Amino acid sequence: MPLLALRDVDARYGQVQALRGVTLTVEEGEIVAILGANGAGKTTTLRAVSGTVRRSGTIELDGRSLARSGPERAARLGVAHVPEGRGTFSELTVWENLRLGAHTRRGALKDDFRRVLGYFPWLEARRAQQAGTLSGGEQQMLALARALMQRPRLLLLDEPSLGLAPLVVAEIFRIVRELNEREGTAVLLVEQNARTSLATAARAYVLEVGAVAYHGTSDELGERDAIRRSYLGY
């Protein structure tokens, strides 16, 4: 049984249908990328999983249905959604952001802080700083750190490279791969940069106007010239 399974998922914003019958799976511990042009429904697919958009169809995490519940329950079941704009609580401190990441968990957080600081040692010195005053790259890393505090089974990552310098992007993707290898966290990744996505993900789905146009392993998709030229833009 896959960790995440979407079958025939529709989603709409008011009158506008954003997803039409999307079917996809993410296996335990797998990194899967969603590719496609602007407006193809990439972000909406993530929002359908976390329950931040009106949707219908089957959405199961580990066999438990998410289709009728909101983001609070998805978070409780182990879905960490780092949205566009990173979901930073910019008015609160760095440390408070981390504590909020662990909101669904009980018990002491000492080990979690230690684990997070293993990935992002610089957070310790900045713990009392207001999160909104961090740079864009730092905020993206804080968002990953916050998600890590949740001990998620599935990480939904939306455009982590948006507005960041190439070096910072490389660093962030390195950390995502490391998280995936060491913690076994599955990742569903939405990313404009197809080359980086395919280098990170094992498999990918290409969306076209709200429906899955192609899917396959990253190697397959990268090799097919037609797909590469029309959808991946390189």
Partner 1 sequence: MALRPGTAWIVPGLLLAGCAALVIGSLQSSLFAQQTISGLANGGIYASLAVALVLIYRATEVINFAQGAIATFTTYVAWQLIDWGLGYWPAFALTLAIAFAGGFAIELVAIRPVERRGHQLSVVIASIGLLILIEGAIGYIWGSEIKFMPAPFPAHVYRVGGVAFSRQDLATIAISIASVVLLWLLFQFTKVGLAMRAAAVRPEAARLVGIRVSWMLSLGWGLAAMLGAVAGMMAAASPTTLLQPSMMDGVLIYAFAAAVLGGLESAAGAVVGALAIGVTLNLLGSYVSWVTPQLLLPAAFVLMLVVLLVKPSGLFGRTRVRKV
Q: How far is the CB of 138 from partner 1 (least distance, A)?
A: 17
Q: How far is the CB of 59 from partner 1 (least distance, A)?
A: 16
Spatial distance between the Cα atoms of 156 and 50, rounded to a whole number of angstroms? 8
Q: How far is the CB of 57 from partner 1 (least distance, A)?
A: 21
Ramachandran angles phi, psi of 147, nearest 5°: -65, -40
Distances in Å between the alpha carbon of 23 and those of 60, 66, 81? 11, 15, 19
SS3 string, the chain, reads CCCEEEEEEEEEECCEEEEEEEEEEECCCCEEEEEECCCCCHHHHHHHHHCCCEEEEEEEECCEECCCCCHHHHHHCCEEEECCCCCCCCCCEHHHHHHHHCCCCCCCCHHHHHHHHHHCHHHCCCCCCEHHHCCHHHHHHHHHHHHHHCCCCEEEEECCCCCCCHHHHHHHHHHHHHHHHHHCCEEEEECCCHHHHHHHCCEEEEEECCEEEEEEEHHHHHHCHHHHHHHHCC
**Which residues bind to partner 1, rule: CB under 8 A?**
50, 52, 70-72, 75-76, 81, 83, 85, 87-92, 96, 99-101, 103-104, 146, 150
Q: Which is nearer to partner 1, 133 or 217 (CB)?
A: 133
Q: Which is nearer to partner 1, 91 or 225 (CB)?
A: 91
Q: How far is the CB of 52 from partner 1 (least distance, A)?
A: 7
Q: Which is nearer to partner 1, 45 or 196 (CB)?
A: 45
Q: Which is nearer to partner 1, 156 or 194 (CB)?
A: 156
Q: Which is nearer to partner 1, 103 or 229 (CB)?
A: 103
Q: How far is the CB of 126 from partner 1 (least distance, A)?
A: 18
Q: How far is the CB of 149 from partner 1 (least distance, A)?
A: 9
Q: Which is nearer to partner 1, 89 or 119 (CB)?
A: 89
